Structures are given as structure tokens and as C-alpha cells.
């Protein structure tokens, strides 16, 4: 006991000095841009979900290339778009050709995703998303980085999970710049019940910085979205082109601790980032109408002056001239942290051991013994902090 206490004190002093400088090093694990972008993804022509998706046909890679829906433009940027040449007038079941991409590699906890784009699809009836999802939904969770519809101008962030007790405490309002849009009492509930379709919206935080979606995003020259998923929780940032932190796109190891408050922050105290999520498939698509853009009340919010309903827009190809992604790059960095919940039993007594041993399996990322040691300490530090903040929140709830 006494030696454990001394170890604890020594480690916490060391941990706080490391945390306050730079405890975690990120190493590039996927760098997808230009022609190489397409090596990182498969086109899923069978991603059909009649309850969710609208008036679309997702194409195979060869069909999308032949139809000029996916290509690299003369500036080296990746274009992914909806067909805006086919006239569907007179066909009552007309569905427009578009794309649904899923990454070949799974993203693990301890990852930082950075996405730099000049244009996000928009327009009445258009529903784009950049998100990650587990291989089993919703049991392995979903993280929505970019998702909005129609002529909205502010992005929405959300989580969708299958486990119970995954929420965003409304107390994070002071730790994020975005606004919680799905508050219910003192939480925003991230748990979905797939059999009943309850709470499919998840726990939504809405961006408050301007031009995070729509024509304004494109006219300012685009910007960058970032998502950090580690044992402390899930954080997401949006930066307009003129406000991108200097280490993004330039540094071999960007440092999110220097970027300021995130737009959306889902701390581990509300939702366990190890057990609510499995390894994630990065997903990029453009849908039309369906269970979000096509909902009459949602459609009317920004498009009531354009058309009486969503589906009436689909046959006219000129409605889709802005329905395209223009992507500079998508990068994934890892911090070498592995899933400590999967090794041995959980519990405070053994967690420091599993945190330390987890760095042993991270040899693929950083070879530096300094960063491996920093990671081990950070893992222990995280374990000590999480129960404290959880019980502190519990006390606040009682008061």
C-alpha cells in the first residue's frame, strides 16, 4: 500500500508535467488524397437501407468512374458527386446515381482523423455525411463528424451507440463551443434502440462557428474537420479555411491540445469510448431525401420556398450541381493507445497494468521509448481522472 501510494504520487506528478507539455505523439497511419484516395475505400453499391436512404442508387467504383461521379480533378482534388446530368422526369420511382464509400482499414481508439475539403455537398434534398461506424450497428457505435441536409448552414455532430448509459452530460456545455441540440434533463442521450427506431437522432451538438456547411463553406475556400477518439472521450473540431491551426496539414504530428476548445466534446464520464465503440469504418456518402433530408418538417426548415416536398426535386438534374465533395485529403493518425477494455478484466486495481501493457502492442506506430513511456503514464492518469470526474458529476446531480 505505502509503496503503491508513493508510486501513485510519483506518477501523478510526472503525468501532470507530461500532460501539461505534450504527452501524446500522433503518427500518420493513413494519408488519402488524389489517386491514392481511392486505394483507401471501397464503393458499396449494396448499402441499401430502405428505412433510411432515399431516392438513390449507390454505384460500384467502375460504374461511378464511368459516370464521372468520382475522379481526381486537374488540381489533384478528389471529387465525389451525385449525377447531375440524367433527367428523371416521368419516372415515379426515379433514383439518382450517387456514391457510398467505406474505408478498407478500420480505425481504432487512439486515432485522430483530419479531413480537409473545399466543398461539402449541399442543396435542397441533399444529405451528405462523413462518419465512422462499427461493423455491427449500433452495437459498435457510430461517430458523425459531418452530417447535415438541404440548405442548412451549421454542421451537426452526433454519436449513435447500442450500449445503454452512453450520453453527453449537458455540463460539457462549458467545455465545447457547440450547442447541445438534444438535451433531455441533464444529459443528451446517445443510445439508439434499433428494433423500435427510438432516438435514432443520437446526441447532437450543433456547430456555432459560421459557414461550417452549405454555400458559405465553399465560398470561404472550405476548411478542416478533425475528430479525436481516445480514452478520455471523443472530440470534434471545425476550422474555416482562414483559421486552420498551423500544425494541421504541415506537421508530421499535429497536436490537438493546442487547437482550443472542441466544437463537440463527448467525455468518457458520460460515454465509455472503449466499450460503446468497436473499430470504426470511415464512411463518406451523399444521399438524397430519405430519413433526414426528406422528412417534411426538416425539409421545410430551409427549403419550403423551393419545393413542396423533397422527392419532387429528384428528377431535375440541375438541383444537384452543388451535390459534390471536393476533398484535399483525409488523414488518420494514431497515438499507439490500444483498447485497454479488451485486455484482462477491467477495474481500477488492474487498469494501470493493462494501460501499461497496452503500449507494448503499439510498436507499429511510434518507436520512441519516450513517447511509449508518456503513453503508459497518460493511460494511468486517464484511469484515475475518469472515476473522480464521474463521481463529481454524480454529486452535482444530487445537489
DSSP 382: H
Of 199, 208, 215, 357, which one interacts with ligand NAG (CB under 6 A)? 199
Q: For residues 175 and 304, which CB has a smaller minimum distance to ligand NAG in the complex?
A: 175
Does 275 bind ligand NAG (CB under 6 A)? Our answer is yes
Backbone torsions φ then ψ of 239, nearest 5 degrees: -130, 125
Cα separation, 58 vs 99, in Å, equals 5
Buried b (16+ CB within 10 A) or exposed e, 133-142: bbeebbebbb
Stretch that binds ligand NAG, among 124-132, 270-278, 284-292, 359-367 (CB under 6 A): 270-278
In this structure, how many other beta carbons lie within 10 angstroms of the beta carbon of residue 355?
23
Write the DSSP string, 279-341. Answer: SEEEEEEEEESHHHHTSHHHHHHHHTTT-SSSGGGTT-GGGGTT-EEEEEEEEEEE-S---GG
Of 11, 14, 28, 47, which one interacts with ligand NAG (CB under 6 A)? 47
Does 191 bind ligand NAG (CB under 6 A)? Our answer is yes
Of 274, 302, 358, 379, which one interacts with ligand NAG (CB under 6 A)? 274
State the nearest-atom distance from the C-beta of 339 to ligand NAG, in Å. Answer: 4
Question: Per-residue x/- marks for ligand NAG, 116-145, CB under 6 A?
Answer: ------------------------x-----
Closest CA to 120 of 206, 220, 263, 205: 220
Any idea which residues carry the catalytic annotation?
142, 147
- Those residues whose C-beta lies under 8 Å from the C-beta of residue 200, and which sit 6 or more positions away, are 160, 192, 291
Residues 305-334 that bind ligand NAG (CB under 6 A): 308-309, 311-312, 321, 324
Write the DSSP string, 207-240. Answer: --STTSSSHHHHHTT-EEEEEEEETTEEEEEEEE
Does 205 bind ligand NAG (CB under 6 A)? Our answer is no
Does 189 bind ligand NAG (CB under 6 A)? Our answer is yes
Q: For residues 178 and 267, which CB has a smaller minimum distance to ligand NAG in the complex?
A: 267
Q: Contact residues for ligand NAG (CB under 6 A)? A: 42, 44, 46-47, 68, 71, 84-85, 102, 108-109, 140, 164, 172, 175, 187, 189, 191, 193, 198-199, 267, 269, 274-275, 277-279, 308-309, 311-312, 321, 324, 339, 341-342, 389
Amino acid at each position: 500500500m505505502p509503496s503503491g501510494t508513493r508510486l501513485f504520487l510519483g506518477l501523478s506528478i510526472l503525468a501532470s508535467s507530461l500532460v501539461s507539455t505534450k504527452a501524446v505523439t500522433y503518427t500518420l497511419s493513413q494519408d488519402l488524397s488524389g489517386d491514392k484516395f481511392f486505394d483507401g475505400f471501397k464503393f458499396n453499391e449494396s448499402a441499401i437501407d430502405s428505412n433510411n436512404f432515399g431516392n438513390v442508387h449507390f454505384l460500384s467504383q467502375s460504374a461511378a468512374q464511368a459516370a464521372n461521379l468520382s475522379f481526381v480533378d486537374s488540381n489533384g482534388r478528389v471529387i465525389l458527386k451525385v449525377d447531375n446530368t440524367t433527367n428523371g422526369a416521368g419516372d415515379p420511382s426515379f433514383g439518382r446515381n450517387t456514391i457510398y464509400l467505406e474505408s478498407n482499414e478500420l480505425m481504432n481508439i487512439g486515432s485522430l482523423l483530419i479531413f480537409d475539403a473545399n466543398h461539402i455537398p449541399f442543396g435542397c434534398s441533399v444529405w451528405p455525411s462523413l462518419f465512422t461506424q462499427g461493423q455491427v450497428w449500433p452495437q459498435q457505435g457510430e461517430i458523425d463528424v459531418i452530417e447535415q441536409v438541404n440548405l442548412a448552414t451549421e454542421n451537426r455532430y452526433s454519436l449513435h451507440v447500442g450500449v445503454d448509459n452512453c450520453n453527453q452530460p449537458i455540463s460539457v456545455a462549458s467545455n465545447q463551443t457547440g450547442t447541445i441540440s438534444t438535451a433531455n434533463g441533464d444529459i443528451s442521450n446517445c443510445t439508439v434502440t434499433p428494433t423500435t427506431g427510438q432516438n435514432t437522432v443520437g446526441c447532437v451538438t450543433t456547430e456555432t462557428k459560421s459557414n461550417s456547411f452549405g454555400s458559405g463553406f465553399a465560398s470561404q475556400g472550405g476548411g478542416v474537420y478533425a475528430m479525436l477518439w481516445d480514452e478520455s472521450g471523443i472530440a470534434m473540431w471545425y476550422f474555416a479555411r482562414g483559421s486552420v491551426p498551423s500544425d494541421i496539414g504541415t506537421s508530421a504530428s499535429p497536436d490537438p491540445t493546442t487547437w482550443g476548445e472542441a466544437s463537440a466534446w463527448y467525455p468518457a464520464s458520460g460515454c465509455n469510448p472503449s466499450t460503446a465503440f468497436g473499430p470504426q469504418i470511415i464512411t463518406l456518402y451523399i444521399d438524397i431525401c430519405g430519413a433526414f433530408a426528406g422528412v417534411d418538417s426538416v425539409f421545410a426548415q430551409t427549403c419550403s420556398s423551393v419545393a413542396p416536398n423533397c422527392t419532387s426535386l429528384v428528377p431535375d438534374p440541375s438541383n444537384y450541381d452543388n451535390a459534390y465533395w471536393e476533398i484535399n485529403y483525409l488523414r488518420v493518425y494514431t497515438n499507439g493507445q490500444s483498447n485497454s477494455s479488451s485486455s484482462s478484466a477491467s477495474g481500477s486495481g488492474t487498469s494501470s497494468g493493462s494501460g501499461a501493457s497496452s503500449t507494448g502492442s503499439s510498436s507499429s506506430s511510434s518507436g520512441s521509448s519516450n513517447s511509449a513511456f508518456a503513453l503508459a503514464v497518460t493511460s494511468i492518469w486517464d484511469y484515475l481522472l475518469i472515476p473522480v470526474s464521474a463521481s463529481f458529476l454524480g454529486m452535482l446531480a444530487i445537489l
